[in-house]
Structure formats: C-alpha cells, structure tokens
Amino acid sequence: MRWLIWRQHRADAALLLAVFTLTAMALVPHALDMHHLFATSGVGDCLQTQRTGCRSPFLQDIADGYQPYINNVVPWLVALPAAAGLFLGAPLLAREYEQGTWQLVWAQSVPRARWLCGKLIAVGASVVVTAAALSRLVTWWFSADAKIKGRLDMAFSVQGLVFPAHALFAFAAGAVAGAWLRRTFPAMALALAAYLVVRVPVETQLRMRLLPPRQMTLDPTASNVRALQPGPQDRVLARGLIAPDGRRLSQVEADTLAAGMPRDDWPGYLHRHGLKDWYQYQPGGRFWTLQAMEAGLFLALTAALLAVLVLRIRRRAV
C-alpha cells in the first residue's frame, strides 16, 4: 500500500518541493540584505533604547525595502493554503472515482478505512511539513520588519502556526468535496468555496477579536502621551475622540469638530473641551496567543471534516 500511495502522489511531493524552493529563492537573498542593513545600521539598538521614539534614518530604508515584497509576495503566499485544497485535497479521492481505481483498491485485503487513512496521512503530512517550513522561512524573512512594525498586520496569516493550520484545513475540505462529488473540477470549486466561507470571516472579523481588545483613553496634552499611545508593534483596531460623559464621538461629529479647530493647538483645544483620544487595540505581545487560538480553531474544523470523511468512506458501498 505504501508503494502504491507513493506512486500515486510522488508528483504531489515534487510540486510541494518546487513551491518551497521557488519561495526560498525569492525570499532568502532579500532577507539577507534586510537583516544585514538592520544589523549594521544601528536600528536594533535604537529601537531598544528609544522604542517608539527611534528616529534612525534607516527605518524608512528597511520599510521601503520590505514593502514591495509584502505587497507582491505575501498575497501569493496567502493563496497557497487554498491551492493545497484545490490541487492536492480535491483530486485525492475524486480522481480515484473518476478513474475507477477505487474498485481495485477496495477489492484487496486492505480495509478501506486503512487505505483512506494512509492516503490522508501521507499527503496531509507533506502539506503540513511544507507549510510549516514555508511559515518558518517567512517568519525569518520578515523578522527585521517585524521588530519595527510588529507582526499583527497582513503577514500574520503566513507566519507561525496559522499557515500550516490553514493549509491542512483546505486540504481536508478538498478531500471531503472530492469524496462527496466524485468529480475533480466540481470538487475543486466546492473546496475553494468552503475554504473562503471560513477563512474570510475569520481573517476580517474574528481574528483580532479572539481576545478582547484593550481600550485606552489619553489626555492629548499629557507630557508622555506619545509613550502611552499604542506602539508600532500593536494593532490599532479603532480610534477616535471620547466626550467628558464617556460617549464616543461619531465620525461626523469628529469631522465637524475638526473643521473649527485651531490647527496650531489641536491638543489644547481638545483638553479645554474635555475631549480625550480613544484607542481600541491588540497588543503586539499577543501574537503567539492569537496564533494558537486561530490555529486551534482551524485544526478543530479539520478534525471534524476528516471524521466525516472517514465515516463516509467506511459506510458507502460504492
């Protein structure tokens, strides 16, 4: 059985290796340049001693060096888990049904549940290992910029634990779709739809709410107001002005207030009217906690999908 699984999926293994190799070729030279600039420019020492007040001229050089890669490479990396569901998960069983090879396999002495688990473990483990290696590579590549701006931005999805969890969930969704529809292309469409139905709301609505965000109000005239504000490592979710009675001003009210506000004394004007700055944010130190919570959510969904798949294969006669 192992030999058969290898014969069937060695092209998949080659594809995963090619994806990792191409990504490494794109990121490693750039990472070495950025890390060298970070180490030799003194930006690291500046951030340690001055934190948000660091004014090193090389900060902008590092930000400018990363931004084109973030804009072009990260969206491609974000799409890779969906590709695992489309090109590895969906054909896993749908191809067996289309080619009729399932009849030969199920006629052998190997129980169908064992056959299924062997395929899932072999291909699923390859997906997880490749995704984990890519995640580690991206985390290393991004580390210089992360020390400046934090890791709770758009690169959150391709670092740490969530990237392998997303890939495994997409693979499981594709396998279930293939078993259900028994046709590769419809299964690919269903797998993509199922993945997006879960992934998009998690990324846009739930991710930064897995832990209750912190709230902060600040007097704009405070001497240390800059040090008290959320730092570049934190993810600001909302901000505005709060009235003396604790009511948050709407955007229309804030715009109306700003129209009549003296430009040379904004903090003083707010202070005289009892208004304070209000922030809602996630601290940068919660990166790994949020990663673990989101990864756990996707792994739980993956386990549910795989359980449904195993039960379906075991109970279905044809």
Which tens digit of pLDDT belongs to each residue from 1-46? Answer: 565 665 666 777 788 899 999 999 999 999 998 888 888 888 877 7
Mean pLDDT of the chain: 84
Is the per-residue pLDDT at 308 higher than 70? yes
What's the rounded Cα separation, in Å, for the pair 143 and 255? 38
pLDDT digits (tens, 9 = 90+) for 271-291: 777 788 889 999 999 999 999
pLDDT digits (tens, 9 = 90+) for 145-187: 888 888 888 789 999 999 999 999 999 999 999 989 989 999 9
Which amino acid is located at 263 in the chain? R
- 3-class secondary structure, 276: strand
Q: What pLDDT, on a 0 to 100 scale, did the predictor assign at position 120?
A: 86
Q: What pLDDT, on a 0 to 100 scale, did the predictor assign at position 317?
A: 46
Q: Does 80 or 113 have the greater pLDDT score?
A: 80
What's the rounded Cα separation, in Å, for the pair 197 and 87? 18
Which amino acid is located at 177 in the chain? A
Residue 289's closest CA among 219, 237, 212? Answer: 212
Which structure tokens are listed for 172? 């499981």
Provide the β-strand partners of residue 92.
Answer: none
What share of the chain in percent tops pLDDT 70? 86
Q: Outline where DSSP puts E strands in the chain.
A: 214-218, 235-242, 276-282
Residue 318: which pLDDT band, with cuts at 50, 70 and 90?
very low
Q: Are 88 and 171 in contact (CB under 8 A)?
A: yes
